[in-house]
Amino acid sequence: MKLFVTGGAGFIGSNFIRFSLANHPEDEIVNFDALTYSGNLENLTEVEKHPQYTFVKGDITDREAVFSVMEQMDVVVHFAAETHVDRSIMNPDIFVRTNVLGTQHILDAVRVFDVRYHHISTDEVFGHLGPDDPPFDEQTSYTPRSPYSASKAASDHLVRAYISTYGIRATISNCSNNYGPYMFPEKLIPLFISNLMEGKKVPVYGDGQQIRDWIHVDDHNRGVDMILRSGKIGETYCLGGGCEITNLSLTKQLLRIMGQSDDMIEFVRDRPGHDRRYAINFSKAKKELGWEPQITFEEGLRDMVNWYETHEDWVARCKSGAYRTYYDRQYGTG
């Protein structure tokens, strides 16, 4: 099988590529990534010489570039997206362009070349839950509350429209918050780890009582792989970690792991439209695919802290943007 992976130099995509090469050595993988601020080829140094792996620098908003490499593919796994909520609030334009228009270009190529397609989405498209509401599932209505989640909701709707209108062979997965190694240090957990490594306080929005469900990136990618190989065409699968925890409790757990006191917490003004609670019911994936999370949050968080503490240079290069020169050294500037 020849896989076309968009956004494969990012956090989740790079972990998926390593997972696939380790578990399906017969497959070929083409990594298509624009290498924007969070796309980092250093995430894939251990596989860059792998005979089954190829990197192509390209932007999903460039229709011709997408079509030029899609024809020979069997499967598309579409990770590429703008994902940071705060950035979407400051500049919605690029989120609409990448997440909506870019997805349309991928879907048009999928339609023309009859390629199997899997779409990576998020639980944020569902809005937020009250304290007594049941978790999100595949039947939950969409009520996005940020430019980021609205752009992802639009891309999900496009996929379903192409399934109904053009009969493309597609599936969708909506996952909860991912965490794990190679996570760009602007997101909550790696930001807090890197701040504490530098002796800085950690900023907690509002009262810190926002609840999130966390899934380890390896559990998520195992679920995506199972959907690709066993999922029913036209269906959506929710993938969750079975771990609801407040941001404040997560922060205190992280402080304990890193031997720090609660004095390192700095409460800051809350984000506009900040969703209060996410939770995912993954019973459909468990029933139909035999999938469920295997990595406990405590185990995964400790492993993540250890990874960041032993990869200080990687963190520093990410925060400074210095990792971008890696592409120039490996592939040239053309």
Round to whole Å and give the CA distance between 325 and 175: 32
Pick the catalytic residue from 53, 148, 162, 326. 148
Locus of tokens 């209108």: 165
Name the residue among 179, 155, 303 with its Cα closest to residue 245: 179
Which residue in the block uniquely carries the two structure tokens 């009582």? 209
Q: Quick check: is 244 catalytic?
A: no
The DSSP code sequence of 195-216 is HHHTT--EEEETTS--EEEEEE
Six token digits for residue 67: 């079509």
The residues pairing with 171 across neighbouring beta strands, listed in sequence order, are: 118
Among residues 124, 213, 225, 275, which one is catalytic? Answer: 124
Query: In the annotation, is 124 catalytic?
Result: yes
Q: What span, in angstroms and rounded, lies between the C-alpha atoms of 43 and 245?
A: 28
Residues 102 and 60 sit within 8 Å (Cβ to Cβ): yes
Q: From the candidates 123, 218, 244, 275, which is the catalytic residue?
A: 123
Residue 123: active-site member: yes
> What residue ranges in 198-330 does DSSP mark as E strands?
202-205, 211-216, 236-239, 244-246, 265-268
| HSE, side-chain direction, 13 A CA sphere, residue 23 | 13
Which amino acids are annotated catalytic? Answer: 123-124, 148
